[in-house]
Structure 1
Amino acid sequence: MNMTQARISINGPTDLLTTVPLLLGFTPQHSLVIVGLVDRRLQCTFRVDLPGSADHLEHLRDLTGQLSLNECDECVIIAYGEKEVAEASIERAASRLFNAGVTPLDRLRVDRGRWFSLTCDKPCCPAEGTPIPETTPASCEVAVAGCYAASDRAEIAEQLAPAPPGRRAAVERAVAAALAAEADLDWATQRSQDLHAIDHWLSTNTLPGPEDTAAIGLALGDLDIRDYALRRIGSGALDANRIDLWLWVARHMADDLRAPAATVAGFAAYRFGNGVLALEAFEAALKASPNYRLAQLLMAALQAGYPPASLTNIGTAELEAAASEE
């Protein structure tokens, strides 16, 4: 199961607030989070930074387009941070969403482990706030689906950090040896070896050594092989989309060979429902290769708020060919 397949039962603010860090992939701070709903079911979750102060609300990013794209009719607005800027941001977002036809069902502020309601003044929502527990039945459901919350964004970015120099050097040597060996292979034999490498490592729960890491990284440089890997991910049959494998390969490849593996890692995270990790992976791919087209396309889709289920056509070379003709 992954987050695009999970059906999560949310019963009140406490359930929701223990679940949001898992949905985002990290514990938000100084953030505005909007949870989109369709027929009272959780549909999507988006986060943006709060402005520096309540006097700079013009810098608060508008998320109405993303919720409309996901066909949300209702939402819950949550701000994490100091009272003045958090509450002002909530009201600005609520006005935008209401005008766009998305009804805010609740408005919550979180600060120092407690939550405060902006819409309820009954004893169930005391003025001093309510402690947020570590877990609830809803957060356990999300954890079972394979999600976890990093302490912050930096911890997520660290998953794309280059591997230790010694391991990267070993892979670079293996890359050089593989390229030399490929010179003696015909196209069909090379293609067969590349497909076998992808299939073999998708059928295991382990991570490859230097030679196999090099083989996978080089294979993903072939658009047909890369797209085959994307289709395998899109099938939903892989445990956690083997995000660990793609991240491992991306971290070990030299800068000029990193973009394909990082893009595949981002796609796997995107399809799994981890938009923050996907964003980090696409940024890593574009840092290595600024013109890598698939990373550009997926980055744009993610930032626009396209749901993971909309990526069914990814994995075909025709998609990039059509985009390049625009």
Structure 2
Amino acid sequence: MHTTQARIRLNGPTDLLTTVPLLLGFHPEHSLVVVGLLNGELQCTFRVDLPGSADHLEHLPDLTAQLSLNECDGCVVVVYGEAELAQAVAERVASRYHAAGVIPLDLLRVAEGRWFSLTCEKPCCPDEGLVLPETSAASCEVAVAGGYAEADRNAIAAQLAPAPPGRRAAVARAVMAALTADAELDWAAQRDLDLQAIDRWMGAKALPDPEAIAAVGLALGDLDIRDYALRRINSGQFEGNRLDLWIWVARHLEDDLVAPAATVAGFAAYRFGNGVLALEAFELALQSSPHYRLAQMLMAALQAGIPPGALSRIGCGDREEAEVSD
């Protein structure tokens, strides 16, 4: 199950607040998080950095368009930070969302392991806040669906850090050997080998060795093979969309080959519901190949708030539905 497919039942602030880090992929700090709802069910989650102070609210990104794109009719606003800034941010965004027809159902603040209501003045919400539990029934549902939370945003980026030099050098040698061998194959034979490589490693429990990393990395350089991998990801047949495989391959490739693998990794993360990891992967792809079109398109879609389910036809082109389901 993808986190985007899980039916998450939120029965109060603690359910929501313990679930947010799993939805984002890390524990936020100095952040505005908006949880979009449709008919009371969780629809989407967005996070942006807070400005430096309440005097600089004009620098706060507006998420109204993203909420509207996801057809949200309600939301919960959560600000991670100090009290004065949190109050100013919450009031500003609540006014915007209400004007757009997205009703803010609650305004909350989180700081130092405690949570505070910014609207409730009853004894159930004391001024000193309430202890935020580590887990809840809702967070357990998300964890079962594959959600997890790193300590911070840097830990997400570290997942895509280059492999140790020795292993990358071994893959580079394997790439050169594969290119030499491929020169002796005709197009049809090479295509069959590339498709077999994608199928084999998507279905494998282990991660590929240097020779296989080279084979997969080179195969993804062919747009048809890359799109075949995207369709296999969209099939939903593979645990975690084999995100571990795509990250493993991308981490071992040199700059001239990494863009396709990093883009496929980002797509797998996006479809799984991990937008932060997807963004890091797309940035890696564009650092090595600034004009790589699919990475540009997917990054733009992610930043616009397009839901993962809208990507189900990516990689299909003009192919018939029957081919996609094979």
Would the TM-score normalized by the shorter structure come out above 0.5? yes
Q: 1:28-177 maps to which residues of 2 (within 5 A)?
A: 28-177=28-177
- 1:122 maps to amino acid: K
SS in 2 for 1:160: coil
Q: Which amino acid aligns with 2:42?
A: L
TM-score, normalization by structure 2: 0.97
CA RMSD of aligned residues (A): 0.9
Render the CA deviation track for 1:115-145: whole Å, top value 9, x for unaligned. Answer: 0001111121111100001111111111101
Task: Indicate if the aligned counterparts of 1:266 and 1:277 stay in contact, CA closer than 8 A.
Answer: yes
> What is the CA–CA distance in structure 2 between the aligned matches of 1:156 and 1:102, rounded to whole Å?
30
Describe the SS at the equivalent of 1:299: helix
For the 8 Å contact 1:230–1:314, the answer to whether it is kept is: yes
In the alignment, the residues of structure 1 paired with residue 124 and residue 272 of structure 2 have an alpha-carbon distance, to the nearest angstrom, of 35
Structure 1 equivalent of residue 22 of structure 2: 22
Task: Return the alpha-carbon distance in structure 1 between the equivalents of residues 62 and 257 of structure 2.
Answer: 36
Residue 189 of structure 1 deviates from its aligned partner by: 0.5
Q: Is the 8 A contact 1:33 1:46 kept in 2?
A: yes
In structure 1, what is the equivalent of residue 3 of structure 2? 3
Residues 239-283 of structure 1, C-alpha deviations (whole Å, 9 max, x = no match)? 000000000000000101000000000000000000000000000
Amino acid at match of 1:242: R
Q: Distance in 2 between matches of 1:317 and 1:158?
A: 33
1:200, distance to aligned residue in structure 2 (A): 0.5
Which secondary structure does the structure 2 equivalent of 1:42 belong to? strand
Relative to the length of structure 1, the TM-score reads 0.97
Counterpart residue number, 2:287: 287
Task: Name the SS of the counterpart of 1:37 in structure 2.
Answer: strand
2:126 alignment partner, SS class: coil
Which residue is equivalent to 1:323? none
Matches within 5 A, 1:177-326: 177-317=177-317
Any idea what SS the aligned residue of 1:75 has?
strand
Quick one: which amino acid aligns to residue 239 of structure 1? E
- 2:159 is paired with a residue of what secondary structure? helix
Return 5+ residue gaps in structure 1 as ranges: 320-326
Q: Which amino acid aligns with 1:21?
A: P
AA paired with 1:38?
L
Superposed CA deviations along residues 268-317 of structure 1, whole A, max 9, x for unmatched, are 00000000000000000000100000000000000000000001221135
| 1:324 aligned residue | none
After TM superposition, the runs of 4+ consecutive aligned structure 1 residues lying more than 3 A away are 316-319
Q: Secondary structure at the match of 1:196?
A: helix
In 1, Cα distance between equivalents of 2:22 and 2:4: 13
Which position in structure 1 is the counterpart of 2:322?
none
- d(CA) in 2 for partners of 1:179 and 1:209? 17
2:18 maps to a residue whose letter is T
Where 2:48 maps in the other structure, the secondary structure is strand
Offset from partner CA, 1:126-179 (integer Å, 9 cap, x none): 111000011111111111011110001100001111100000000000000000
Deviation of the 1:318 alpha carbon: 6.1
In the alignment, is the contact (CA less than 8 A) between 1:223 and 1:317 conserved in 2? Answer: no
- Distance of 1:5 and 1:316 partners within structure 2: 21
Alignment: residue pair count: 319
Amino acid at match of 2:35: V
